Structure 1
Amino acid sequence: MEKRIAWKLFKRELFQGQLLLIILAITLAVLSVTGLARVSERLQIAINGQASKFIAADRIINSPTPIDPTIVTTAQSMGLKHVASMQFNSMAFANDNFQLITVRAVGQGYPLKGKIELSTGVTDTLPQAGTLWYETRLGGILAYPKSLEVGNAEFSLSAEIARLPDAGFNPFASSPVVLMRLEDVDKTGVIQPGSRVSYIHQFAGEESQLKTFEATVKPLLNNSQRWVDVQSGDSPIASAVKRAERFLLLASLLGIALACAAIGIAAQRYCQRHFDVVAMLKTFGASSKQIRILFGLHLLFVTGLGIVLGLIGGLALDALITAYLPQAIADYGAPLARPLLLGVATGLISAFMFSAYPLMRLLSIPPLRVLQRQLEGLQLGMWLHLLLSLAAMALLGYLYSQSLALTMTVVAGVLLLGVLLSLFGFLLIRAGHSVGMKTTNPLQLALAGLRRRAKQNAVQLVGFSSALVLLLTIIALRQDLLDEWQKQLPAQSPNYFLVNISPDEQQPLTDYFSQNDINATDIYPVIRGRLVEINGETLISSEQAEEGVEGRVGISRELNLTWRDDLPPNNDLLEGTFNQAADEVSIESGVAERLGVGIGDSLTYIIDNQRLTVKITSVRGVHWETLQPNFFMIFSQEALAPFAYTSMASFYLEDSQKHLVLDLIKGFPTVSIIDVGAMVKQLRQIIDQVSLSLTLVLVLVLLASSLVMIAQTEAGMATRQRELAVLRTFGASGWLLRMATALEFALLGVISGILAVIVAEFTLYLLKTQVFELVVYMHWNWWVLAPLSGALIVALLGTWRCRQLLQKSCSELLSA
């Protein structure tokens, strides 16, 4: 019987429009989360797929010793593609010349991602047995020989390498690269016991396979073996990819918060509309159990319909956006199950946990309300409602993002918004108490309306403020990320590097740049040195630490040192003063943290078998992603004057100037030229895709926020209709009511804007310091723009929704 009554009540209210608000809220919740999750996952997969070309695979295991064969067997059993490679240094001979080279010996199938670029174009093949492909600058160094001796074997040089997909970016790697087949390594005889070799195993496959493989294999790796993916430091776009994924996760989390706010508002409004129904049912003898079943089924029907509509809308939204994506992104498929399950979970958890307290109040309505309409049943337990609401939001957020930092940041922002609404918003609304009910002044009437609907308006502030907080946070983060990436790759970023510049070539090279109008950076001296002591304490290597040797761990390789009189571009002075004396050094912040040193500590280096002790006087933040020369340690010129050095520089060439590269090679045969133009171009493509991702997510959040505001203005229409009828009866003009209504919503918008700025600044501080590692600054213009924008948007939405009520006559309002 209860089922039939619930179904009839559901159909009646559905056709009469009584359920539109809550169905719209649940639909919006599921649509936002499903659509954002689906689009975000597609964009994440596309970004990672494009970025994986920088490492020529999806995952890499890099090891100084051969890896356990079972790892390869496991990968093959999971259906992953696999390529084995080796990398080592060797001396190469051609005629009477010799040169230290880096040998890349690759197996069949290399590269798994990306393409090898030769001077003649892109190729899908590998060198033939007994032949080598060589980096262009090796030909200039050795006068373009026909063949090359490596160890015991002689190889013919068959093609010039313009770029390998996983070449990385290291202008200090002065050894030219040659590419050979893996099976040719044995005949060289170069690899002997104790030789320094990197064994590289590259894997590619579906994301689900890779995650399973990672979970299985990573625990088996030792400390000397490294697991590498596109988010590892080896990738030149690691930072951009990480920040983009965090942004997409954050957008979806804010979508969940948006959904929770919408459902909470709708549930409260729904239950308030049924206070009289419950009182009448109890008056006619319905038991508490029957009423619980009735409204429980009713809520289940509403939730089910909202979830179905939301899932359909989310998939339609994904299809619509995908149709406008670049083909390179649209071609990437995204798993369908997770967004759908997340949408269903969002609908169910939000609907029931956010409806718990309003439903408890509804079921506790006494029958006496039929006579005394001011009775509203349960008035205690608000703390339970808040607890359930926060728990639902945190649970959904963590289930989606798997990021405690992101989830807790969103929860902290919600808590602050709740506190401000309680302390600040309610006080402002109550400030209209003293103006009475005068109907001659629109502002006084608007303030009186705020006072009369203090509780209802406090609920409306939740929706309006939440939407504005989301917009401000997403807009600010998107702009900050785009600005950060623009700094990394400004127009005319260097696409060539020069290394091994001798001191007597610096001035001729500078003159050449000036004569040919080449945009070049400063010339940086480079000196190799090893850090051996900190504050007089001898350092040990990481290998010694693994063997059980006690001591302070240093940096297990030689460092590239330089000098400068002023702070380099793309460096930020974090502490101290930059080098002013011969015994001072400036250190990069990451290395300082790794070594556990700071201002005042002394460092001792061995350079050309000589000891040099200096004191740290400044700590720098370095933007490593800028493709500019950067250094861990910067000295004064006086400190490094006794040591021999070479220099490096970078410059930018337009396509029309590419012929100047040949002139440089001929004019400066001992200088090595490294072409990073292809890398810069590919990096720009990735950044463009990331920028597009951020823009699309911003549009989604804008649409979702607008829907929440529209849904929020639905609340209180019945109460407003009664008040308008009373005011019409007492002679209020249409102009007065329209102005008062617009001003009332505008005041709500102003308060929402102020609250939103406070919460957004707090949330951005947490996000920038704990998640995105961005510079924190105040958005002072928001304190004017946000309240004004809030007033305009909310006033327009409110008056638009009330337009029909404002056009009705007194008799029409009373009879409606």
Structure 2
Amino acid sequence: MSWQLAWRLFKRELSQGQLILIVLAITLAVLSVSGLARVSERLQVAINGEAANFIAADRIINSPVAIAPEILTIAEDIGLKHVTNMQFNSMVYADDNFQLVTIKAVGEAYPLKGVIELNSGETSSLPSKHQAWYENRLGGLLNYPKHVELGDVKFDMAAEISRLPDGGFNPFASSPVLLIRLADVADTGIIQPGSRVTYLYQFTGNPQQLTQFETQVKPMLNNSQRWVDVQSGDSPIASAVKRAERFLLLASLLGIALACAAIGIAAQRYCQRHYDVVAMLKTFGASGKQIRQIFTLHLLLVTGLGILLGLIGGMLLDYAINGFLPAEIAAYSPPYLRPIMLGVATGLISAFMFSAYPLLRLLSIPPLRVLQNQLEGLQVGMWLHLLLSLSAMALLGYLYSQSIELTMTVVSAVLLLGLLLSVLGFVMVRIGHGVGMKTTNPLQLALAGLRRRAKQNAVQLVGFSSALVLLLTILALRQDLLNEWQKQLPENAPNYFLVNIAPEDTKPLDDFLDSNNIIATDIYPVIRGRLTHINDEKLISRDQHKNGTQGRVGISRELNLTFRDTLPPNNEITQGTFNQTDDEVSVESGVAERLGLSLGDTLTFSIDNQRVNVTVASIRTVQWETLQPNFFMIFRPKALQGFAYTSMASFHLDDETLAINGSKLTANALVLQLIQQFPTISVIDVGAMVGQLRQIIDQVSLSLSLVLALVLLASALVLIAQTEAGMATRQRELAVLRTFGASGWLLRSATGFEFALLGAIAGFLAVIVAEFALYMLKTQVFELVVYMHWPWWAISPLAGAFVVAVLGMWRCRQLLNQSCGALLKAG
């Protein structure tokens, strides 16, 4: 019986259009979550997939010894592709010349991601047996020999390497790379027991395989073995990828918040529409159990329809957006299962938990309402509604993000937003109380309408302002991230590095760069030194600490130190002042935090077996992604006077033909001139890496724009749902005003003013909350510079007034054009 009544009620109200709002809200919720989840996951997979080209794989295990064979067996059982590489330093000989090199011995499947670029172009092959491919500067150091000797084998110098996909970027690297086959290592006889070798095991596969592999293998690794991916810091794109993923995650969580807001608005309206139905059922003798069953089944049918439409809409949205994506992003296709499951869970959880309190009020409607229409049910327990709503939002947020920190940040912001907007909105709307019921002026009538619907309008302000806050937040973060990346990689970002610059070459090099109109960075001296003591306390290595040695852990390698009188570009002092005396040093903030340093600490360095004592005078942040020379420690020149040093610099050179001193030269020809004039200087070309990095940044930028468009769509639907919620009350009021002779022009003007005032108030409050939310997000999540968005304080209220007025007038257009009789009949 209950099922039949619920089905009949569902069919009747669906055909009459009474369920449009609640179905639309649930559809919006499911569409937002499933569509955003699908698009966001595609973008995340694509970004990580493209960024994986920087490490030539999806995951790497870096180990000083061969890993356990069962790890490779696990990879094969899961279905991962893998390749084993080795890396070590050795001397190579060519006639009477010799040079220390980094040997990179690679397996047959190398590289798993990306391609090897030779001077002759890209290649998918590897050197043949007893052949070697060499870095450009190695050829210059050995006078481009045809053969080199490595251990017991003579290798043919077969090709010059332009770039390796996992070559990384380390301008301080003193050893050029020689690439050979892994099978040739045994023939050289170089690797002996005790030799220092790094084993690099590279893996690639789909996200599910990689997650399964990581779960099984990570616990099997020891302290000397490292798990590496594109976010581990070994890739120059790591920072951009992390921020982009956090943005996509945040945007999707805000989409969930928007969907929940729509559900809450619609659920309240849904229950209000059925007050009279419940009163009638109770009057005809229906029990409380029967009524609960009828409306639970009815809501389940409504929710099921909303979920179905939402899933279809989410798939269509993903399909439509995929058609506009670049081919390299569209090629990635994550599984559908998770977005579908998230959509279904969102529809069920949000529909029932956001409807719980309105349903309690609905079920408590007294039968006497049949005679006294103003009677309502449960009037207390709003705390229960807030608790259930926040719990639903937190549960959905965690199901989506798997991040307690980000979920609680969003929930806390939503709670603060709701409290602030409810209080301020109600107070500001009540300002119109003194206007009374005068109807001679549209503005007075609008203010009177705001006063009469003060409680309802306060709720509407929460909906309007929530949408505007989320829009402003996403818009500002997207722009700030794009600006940050643009600053890191401007069009003239350095694409050549000069290292091993001897002191006597500094002035001639400066003259060469000036005469050829090449804009370069400053020339930075580089001295190698080891930090040995902090405040006279001797430092120990990580290995010593792991073996039980007591003491303060330092940095287990030599540092590249520099000296100068002024603060370098892309550095910002956060504590103290830049070096004022010769015994002071400026320390990078990350190293200072790792070592527990503070201003005034005494540091002792060992440089060429001599002790150098300095005091920490300042701590500074460094933009490492700018591809310009940067250092952990900066001294005053006199502090390192007398120590031998070389220098480094970087510059930008376009590939196009250059007009130099009346003659035309290509960039390669000019670089060749530099090498010939300064044969001891090593030139590192990072142009290919910069181009690839910029391509990934462009893809990330497109991702942010697409997610912004989705949030814009969700926000617009929430605004429409919020406007729809007050239509029944407004219809009755228009009927009354028409009865008392109000003209159509007066009603249209007053309605427009009322919506515009609501939008302006919502816009003003949204700016306040958005500035606060951005402060928290920038300082706690994205590590961006905080600043006020002053134009918003004028633009947001005006935009809010315009958008809400247009939506309101569009929704009220039929009511405003109806006659008095039609309004009374419809009411």
Question: Which AA in structure 1 matches 2:400?
Answer: Y
Q: Secondary structure at the match of 2:132?
A: strand
Partner of 2:28: 28
Partner of 1:317: 317
1:748 to 743, 746, 758: 758
Q: Secondary structure at the match of 1:714?
A: helix
Q: Deviations over 1:22-64 (max 9, x none)?
A: 0110001101111000000000000011000000000000011
Partner of 1:539: 539
- Aligned: 1:681 with 2:691: yes
Alignment of 1:424-573 (within 5 A): 424-573=424-573
Q: Deviations over 1:125-184 (max 9, x none)?
A: 111111111001111111001111122322111111111100001000021000011121
Partner of 1:153: 153
2:770 to 730, 750, 760: 760
Partner of 2:299: 299
Question: Which AA in structure 2 matches 1:792?
Answer: F
The separation in 2 between residues aligned to 1:335 and 1:586, in whole angstroms, is 49
Partner of 1:46: 46
More moved, 171-180 vs 143-152: 143-152
Partner of 1:730: 740
Q: Deviations over 1:631-673 (max 9, x none)?
A: 0000111111111110001111111223211111111111001
The separation in 2 between residues aligned to 1:320 and 1:99, in whole angstroms, is 57
The separation in 1 between residues aligned to 2:671 and 2:558, in whole angstroms, is 31
More moved, 545-554 vs 308-317: 545-554
Q: Deviations over 1:421-453 (max 9, x none)?
A: 332111112222221111012222111111211
1:788 to 782, 794, 798: 798
CA contact (8 A) 1:417 1:755 kept: no
Q: Secondary structure at the match of 1:655?
A: coil
Shift of 1:781: 2.0
CA contact (8 A) 2:422 2:459 kept: no
Partner of 2:680: 670
- Aligned: 1:720 with 2:751: no
The separation in 2 between residues aligned to 1:193 and 1:199, in whole angstroms, is 15
CA contact (8 A) 1:409 1:763 kept: no
Question: Which AA in structure 2 matches 1:294?
Answer: I
5+ residue gaps, structure 1: none
Q: Deviations over 1:266-319 (max 9, x none)?
A: 000011111111111111221111111111111111100000000000000000
Partner of 1:651: 651
Alignment of 1:125-136 (within 5 A): 125-136=125-136
Partner of 1:701: 711
Identity %: 75
Shift of 1:725: 1.2
Question: Which AA in structure 2 matches 1:118?
Answer: L
More moved, 773-782 vs 598-607: 773-782
Alignment of 1:248-267 (within 5 A): 248-267=248-267
The separation in 2 between residues aligned to 1:420 and 1:736, in whole angstroms, is 33
- Aligned: 1:805 with 2:815: yes
Question: Which AA in structure 2 matches 1:446?
Answer: A
Alignment of 1:279-358 (within 5 A): 279-358=279-358
Q: Secondary structure at the match of 1:585?
A: strand
Question: Which AA in structure 1 matches 2:613?
Answer: T
The separation in 2 between residues aligned to 1:718 and 1:332, in whole angstroms, is 47
- Aligned: 1:769 with 2:784: no
Question: Which AA in structure 1 matches 2:393?
Answer: M
The separation in 2 between residues aligned to 1:150 and 1:448, in whole angstroms, is 91
The separation in 2 between residues aligned to 1:184 and 1:608, in whole angstroms, is 37
Shift of 1:577: 0.5
Q: Secondary structure at the match of 2:725?
A: coil
The separation in 2 between residues aligned to 1:594 and 1:327, in whole angstroms, is 42
Partner of 1:588: 588
Shift of 1:732: 1.4
Shift of 1:256: 0.5
Output the TM-score relative to the length of structure 1: 0.99
The separation in 2 between residues aligned to 1:117 and 1:624, in whole angstroms, is 25
Shift of 1:121: 0.7
Shift of 1:619: 0.4
The separation in 2 between residues aligned to 1:718 and 1:153, in whole angstroms, is 89
Shift of 1:231: 0.6
The separation in 2 between residues aligned to 1:128 and 1:421, in whole angstroms, is 71
More moved, 182-191 vs 41-50: 182-191
Q: Deviations over 1:577-632 (max 9, x none)?
A: 11121100000000000000011001000111111000000001011111111100
More moved, 428-437 vs 464-473: 428-437
More moved, 330-339 vs 273-282: 273-282
Partner of 2:663: none
More moved, 52-61 vs 69-78: 69-78
Question: Which AA in structure 1 matches 2:367?
Answer: P
Partner of 2:621: 621
Question: Which AA in structure 2 matches 1:583?
Answer: D
Question: Which AA in structure 2 matches 1:115?
Answer: V
Partner of 1:200: 200
CA contact (8 A) 1:171 1:674 kept: yes
Question: Which AA in structure 2 matches 1:185?
Answer: V
CA contact (8 A) 2:29 2:310 kept: yes
The separation in 1 between residues aligned to 2:473 and 2:819, in whole angstroms, is 43
The separation in 2 between residues aligned to 1:197 and 1:605, in whole angstroms, is 28
Question: Which AA in structure 2 matches 1:248?
Answer: L
Question: Which AA in structure 1 matches 2:336?
Answer: L
Question: Which AA in structure 1 matches 2:685?
Answer: D
Shift of 1:499: 0.3
CA contact (8 A) 1:443 1:740 kept: yes
Q: Secondary structure at the match of 1:550?
A: coil
Shift of 1:476: 0.6
The separation in 1 between residues aligned to 2:332 and 2:184, in whole angstroms, is 37
More moved, 180-189 vs 102-111: 180-189
Q: Secondary structure at the match of 1:659?
A: helix
Partner of 1:660: 670
CA contact (8 A) 2:422 2:461 kept: no
The separation in 1 between residues aligned to 2:400 and 2:576, in whole angstroms, is 42
Q: Secondary structure at the match of 2:312?
A: helix
Question: Which AA in structure 1 matches 2:787?
Answer: Y
Shift of 1:105: 0.6
Question: Which AA in structure 2 matches 1:779?
Answer: H
The separation in 1 between residues aligned to 2:790 and 2:93, in whole angstroms, is 65
CA contact (8 A) 1:500 1:670 kept: yes
CA RMSD of aligned residues (A): 1.0
Q: Secondary structure at the match of 1:82?
A: strand
Shift of 1:534: 0.3
The separation in 2 between residues aligned to 1:374 and 1:762, in whole angstroms, is 40
Q: Secondary structure at the match of 2:768?
A: helix
Shift of 1:762: 2.0
CA contact (8 A) 2:747 2:816 kept: yes
Q: Deviations over 1:740-782 (max 9, x none)?
A: 1111111111221122122212222221122111112222222
The separation in 1 between residues aligned to 2:458 and 2:376, in whole angstroms, is 18
CA contact (8 A) 2:278 2:291 kept: yes
- Aligned: 1:739 with 2:749: yes
Alignment of 1:10-25 (within 5 A): 10-25=10-25
CA contact (8 A) 1:531 1:555 kept: yes
